[in-house]
Amino acid sequence: MAQACLPPQVLDRATNKPFVQARLADIVHALGGLLQGPGDLVLARISPLALAGSDAISFLSHARYAQELETTQAGVVIVSPESAAQLKSRPQLALIVTPEPYLYYARLSQWWAQAERLQHQEADQRAGLALSPRIHPSSVIHPQAQVAASARVGPLCVIERGAVVGEGTWLKSRVTVGERCVIGDNCILHAGVVVGADGFGFAKDGEGHWIKIEQLGAVRIGRDVEIGANTCIDRGALVDTVIEDGVKLDNLIQIGHNVHIGAHSALAGCVGVAGSATIGKHCTVGGGAVILGHLSLADSVHISASSVVTRSIGVAGHYSGFFPLDDNANWEKNAAALKQLHRLRQRILALEQAAHLSKGPPA
Amino acid sequence: MAQACLPPQVLDRATNKPFVQARLADIVHALGGLLQGPGDLVLARISPLALAGSDAISFLSHARYAQELETTQAGVVIVSPESAAQLKSRPQLALIVTPEPYLYYARLSQWWAQAERLQHQEADQRAGLALSPRIHPSSVIHPQAQVAASARVGPLCVIERGAVVGEGTWLKSRVTVGERCVIGDNCILHAGVVVGADGFGFAKDGEGHWIKIEQLGAVRIGRDVEIGANTCIDRGALVDTVIEDGVKLDNLIQIGHNVHIGAHSALAGCVGVAGSATIGKHCTVGGGAVILGHLSLADSVHISASSVVTRSIGVAGHYSGFFPLDDNANWEKNAAALKQLHRLRQRILALEQAAHLSKGPPA
Amino acid sequence: MAQACLPPQVLDRATNKPFVQARLADIVHALGGLLQGPGDLVLARISPLALAGSDAISFLSHARYAQELETTQAGVVIVSPESAAQLKSRPQLALIVTPEPYLYYARLSQWWAQAERLQHQEADQRAGLALSPRIHPSSVIHPQAQVAASARVGPLCVIERGAVVGEGTWLKSRVTVGERCVIGDNCILHAGVVVGADGFGFAKDGEGHWIKIEQLGAVRIGRDVEIGANTCIDRGALVDTVIEDGVKLDNLIQIGHNVHIGAHSALAGCVGVAGSATIGKHCTVGGGAVILGHLSLADSVHISASSVVTRSIGVAGHYSGFFPLDDNANWEKNAAALKQLHRLRQRILALEQAAHLSKGPPA
């Protein structure tokens, strides 16, 4: 991580007061793990190892950061049993030992955020401020839309006729949910998300004009789905666009009409998925990748950033396709040569034939 | 299409009630075509061939789906005269015969959506609900903006000073139209569209700081233009950014300042067009492609997805430029070799000279 | 520039009346430069050389447009001393001579826009219209947010708890600034910008489900930063995402959590920067490029459009990596050959060995 590059004032700003004062024993009581250290230690923040002070809880997520464990100033560190066993040099360092430190950190972050939210509510009450409304009055919700009792709708959202928002789901702000689109339970939709705009469908008439195909399907989103800021998921043409349970979409992603994304897949920012593509379960797609339409990816397919998927992939695995970065001068020479690559291949074949090296049909 | 991959409940959800009950004869009366079948058949939905039931109208858009015609359960299918002539096996299947089934489907979808809208209005009236206002009161419209009498402005839009919105044009929700920008008649702007933000123009001063160039132009959009969700069209620096009639822009597209897009061109999602580029008429640009600035594309140029256009293209045709996807291990080997491609070319030339195969200057 | 491709009516529309009537002497008085010509000339617009009429001020920004100087109809042209010296053919053409004509044009555009704004205010007052409010009442601002006295907040923005908006900063419309995020002085945030949505952070549990990592950091943005429409800057996981002074971000850019962008860097549209990447000062990134996470770019690194940065770059310079565009048929042949490039390299080596040309280990 690049935290070391951050200026020191990152953690010094006025608004970064230790709102949460967490006793170490309370954390372990709530989240488990084996505590090696003083339960009455009070923590004020979660920090990366290299930046942590004595009031911080930190974590060792990967062996490659093990050296930071030797020098960290953290008050307590979440580590695996293996890391704990190897750490001989600092017998005084407080530890929480757990098989999956990164997962523990994730749950700790949730516990922490929840504690912060409660503190904010109490502070607001002391200050005589009204609680934030569950449904912000600036949002425009159609009378025939259905918003679950525990759902939250932030400011300036639009929920259209027939749309459904599930229990525990949170529309942060400026989210649009189009007609008849269904958002499952416990989802998070960040600012600017558009669910259910029309898919991009047109037929060409005899003069080369595009005639709109009305998009009569909708969007169905499962539970535990998170959708990043300004991401768009188009409604289907005749069937629904479907996002299954547990899918995570980063910011500025485009999901075309009729697309189907399998459960627990994750797509990074700026990805585009063209119409009628099907992505399996537990897939990952790197940032800026493009998946063309009318094709299928099997479960557990992983696509590198900026790659273009032009045909179906039936076998789980890791696939890539982007031009390697180079110094511009080198790139120019290679790019020029690349435009003649098939001729180079023919020249190699001619050389092989001249040298009697060719042993079969040209590759 | 990937509909067969969709779970069966796609068409079963409670909200998908057959709002429209369309008599087949009424469809043919409205849209033409030769009816071979019972005019009193009642249709409740439009469906793809493979998913259609007896209450559905379907269509055969391409010969490669002809086999689905043999097995479809659709109540009626829109087909070409050729397909109708070849269909011997199912003399009882009701058909609408028309030269361009896909175009017929497009028009049917419009007819269907319009029928649905009328049904909604009638249902609202029966329920005593107010009609949706033509101009939603939550939108912020400058008193010096000009919105045509038949234009619709959905919730939470912003229309700035001097902007013009044409007859029949529909701003869905959360659309911004900047100062002096002009939207023609019968356009659709989906949620989150930004027309007329500042173009990206800066001059560098002696210290390497960027000095803003105020963007004094505007955006002029013709008629019958559709703009997808969260797409941005920047205002010109000194002249206007121009989108001609009938252009279709998908979601999350960036159109830079001074760009000019010719009539009836279509750009897929996530495309970026840099400043002062000119795109001809009847062009198409695939998803994620980038068109650099200060260049021109002739009419009827077609750019593949994820390709980068770095120079003007004067000849109509199909152009591509993206790295082919591969298994990651293979990709890594080829990418490594690619960084030495111009040296490989030199080595081939040396081999040719040694073998006296070289017949001219190196390619 | 492609203005010559624009239809002539670009400058003819009714709304393009010469709102500003600027005396040449007033411009030179305000912005400096050596005037060669009549100070009482009245100018109504700034235009490109090729489109300028006698009421326009224009500029020669680059020697490659010098020929346009011979024929321009502009009333006055901003030129460098060198261009002025070379211009023998038109002794009557009025000139403003200044070392950096493009920078002069930038400052002129600001002067012009300011004059236009004042004219609008006066016209509004004459018409009895209320002045646009500094903080638009449709925006939703948390009582614990802090908006500076001279900041402007346009319609339908959201400013969350603890956020700070600096002096002179302008949120155009529909901007979200998340909890505790800080925007410095004199920034411009265009429509649809989202600052401080959650970073994309998840840990995988034993069943392959993604467990959310709450994003406890914020976003800190320096002064003189401009952020284009619908661009997203995510809050940090534990530290802040930082955008230093003078950075310019175009539209539809994704900035991941914990990213740090050095002062006076500029990123073009559709760029994606993945989490924990660090970009130096005075860098530029071309449109659609992707910068992967957990890496660093030195100061003054320039990345071409659509390139993918997969490793840290420690040396200033220009770097590229995208597939060159080609006619689709050629591209297909080369793309096919590319998938066997490492085998071609082996075949070349075999040829070299057979011909005794190999002089070392294979490249």
Report pLDDT digits (tens) over A41-50: 999 999 999 9
Which residues in chain B are closer than 8 Å to A210, comparing Cβ atoms?
A: 246, 248, 264, 266
Chain A residues closer than 8 Å to C205 by CB: 100, 103
Task: Report whether pLDDT(C348) > 60.
Answer: yes
pLDDT digits (tens, 9 = 90+) for A52-68: 999 999 999 888 888 89
Around Cβ A47, how many Cβ atoms within 10 Å? Answer: 24
Q: What is the pLDDT of residues B180-233, one digit of tens each?
A: 999 999 999 999 999 999 999 999 999 999 999 999 999 999 999 999 999 999
Percent of chain B with pLDDT over 90: 83
| Distance, CA of A248 to CA of A239 (rounded, Å) | 22
Joined tokens for residue B179? 């100062």
Between B3, B228, B323, which is nearest A321 by CB? B323
Res A89: pLDDT: 86
* Percentage above 70 pLDDT, chain B: 93
pLDDT for the residue numbered A30? 97
C287 with B292: Cβ contact below 8 A: yes
| pLDDT recorded at residue B2 | 34
| pLDDT single digits (tens) C178-237 | 999 999 999 999 999 999 999 999 999 999 999 999 999 999 999 999 999 999 999 999
Q: Where does the pLDDT of residue A2 fall: very low under 50, low under 70, confident under 90, or very high at 90 and above?
A: very low
* Shortest Cα distance, chain B CAs vs residue A305, angstroms: 11
Which chains touch B (3+ CB pairs under 8 A)? A, C
Write down the mean pLDDT value for chain C.
92
- Would the pLDDT of A363 be above 50? no
Residues of C in contact with A331 (CB under 8 A): 304, 319-321
Q: Which residues contact C118 (CB under 8 A, 6 or more apart)?
A: none
- In this complex, the chains that touch A, judged by 3 or more CB pairs closer than 8 A, are B, C
Rounded to the nearest angstrom, the minimum Cα separation between A66 and chain B is: 29
- Beta-carbon contacts of residue A332 (< 8 Å; ≥ 6 apart): C320
Mean pLDDT to the nearest integer, B301-305: 98
**How many other C-beta atoms can be found within 10 angstroms of the C-beta atom of residue B239?**
25
- Buried-exposed string A192-223: b where 16+ CB fall within 10 A, e elsewhere: bbbbbbbbbbbbbeeeebbbbbbbbbbbbbbb
Percent of chain C with pLDDT over 70: 93
For residue B1, the model assigns a pLDDT of 31
Tell whether the model's pLDDT for residue B363 goes beyond 50: no
What residues of C are labeled active site? 257
Longest CA pairwise span in chain B (Å): 91
Give B218's strand partners: none
pLDDT of residue C25: 97
Mean pLDDT of chain A: 92
Residue C12: the pLDDT is 32
**pLDDT reported for residue A122:** 84
Segment C63-88 shows an average pLDDT of 92
pLDDT band at B5 (very low <50, low <70, confident <90, very high): very low
DSSP letter string, C39-97:
TT-EE-EE--GGG--TTEEEE--SGGGHHHHHH---SEEEE-HHHHHH--S-TTSEEEE
Tens digit of pLDDT for each residue in C285-297? 999 999 999 999 9
C-alpha span between B275 and B272 (Å, rounded): 10
- The reported pLDDT for the residue numbered A126 is 84
Locate C12 and state its tokens: 């003819």
For residue A57, give Cα distances in angstroms to A75, B89, C158. Answer: 6, 73, 32
Share of chain A above pLDDT 90, in %: 83
Q: With an 8 Å Cβ cutoff, are C197 and A190 in contact?
A: yes
Residue C287 near residue B310, CB atoms below 8 Å:
no
Q: Is the whole model's pTM more than 0.90, yes or no? A: yes
Lowest mean pLDDT among A78-87, B62-71, B274-283, C161-170: B62-71
pLDDT in tens, B83-140: 999 888 888 999 999 999 999 999 999 999 999 888 888 888 888 888 788 999 999 9
Would you tell me how many other CB atoms lie within 10 Å of the CB of residue B316?
A: 14
Q: Which residues of A touch B306 (CB under 8 A)?
A: 290, 308
List, by residue number, the catalytic residues of A.
257
Measured between beta carbons, the chain B residues lying within 8 angstroms of A230 are 192, 230, 252
As given in the structure block, the two tokens for residue B312 are 């003007």
pLDDT of residue C360: 54
pLDDT score of C359? 57
Q: What chains are in contact with C, requiring at least 3 Cβ pairs below 8 Å?
A: A, B
Q: Which of C43, C109, C245 is the best mutation test for B, with the most CBs of B within 10 A?
A: C109
The per-residue DSSP string of B276-333 comes to T-EE-TT-EE-TT-EE-SS-EE-TTEEE-TT-EE-S-B-S-EEEE--PPPEEHHHHHH
Say whether A272 and B282 touch across the interface (CB within 8 A). Answer: no
**How many beta-carbon pairs below 8 A join chains A and C?**
264
